[in-house]
Amino acid sequence: MTPPKRVKAAGTYYTVEYVERIEADDGGELAGDCLGSAQRIRVSSTQGTDRQKSTLLHETIHAIADELNYDWPEGLVLQAERVFWLMARDNPGLIRYIRSK
């Protein structure tokens, strides 16, 4: 399946870019980032497929928090990512049901 080029976070569309390198402020490398002011999410394309998916979920959670003006610490975003990732992976029937019309 082709990775999405945009996601909707709390009513706002964010462009998703897949790039080879995302540099952190300290010179290190990031798996992804979210720039709410530009409605942009970047995901490192050098990661494996499952890691890219979980990174996109993580950054989408940041986007939702930004849109709702929530000041969520990174630890809370990590916990939400893990919980939602496992819920989605372990309950495909639930996801299909939620998406059904």
Q: What is the pLDDT of residues 28-87, one digit of tens each?
A: 999 999 999 999 999 999 999 999 999 999 999 999 999 999 999 999 999 999 999 999
Any domain includes 40? yes
Share of the chain above pLDDT 90, in %: 98
- Domain with 80 in it: what CATH number? 3.30.2010
pLDDT for position 2:
92
Domain that holds residue 26: 6-99
How far CA 25 is from CA of 18, 30, 60, 81, 98, in Å, comes to 19, 10, 20, 23, 39
Strands 40-44 and 6-9, by their bridges, are: unpaired
Contact 47, 58 (CB under 8 A): no
Any domain includes 1? no
| Residue 99 backbone dihedrals phi, psi, to 5 degrees | -80, -15
pLDDT for position 38:
97
Following DSSP, what letter does each residue of 5-51 receive, concatenated?
A: SEEEETTEEEEEEEES--B-TTS-B-SEEEEGGGTEEEEETTS-HHH
Mean pLDDT, the chain, rounded, equals 96
Any domain includes 45? yes
pLDDT for position 1:
84
pLDDT for position 43:
98
Any domain includes 90? yes
DSSP 85: H
User: pTM value?
Assistant: 0.93
Q: How many domains does the chain have?
A: 1
Bridge partners (DSSP) of residue 45 are: none
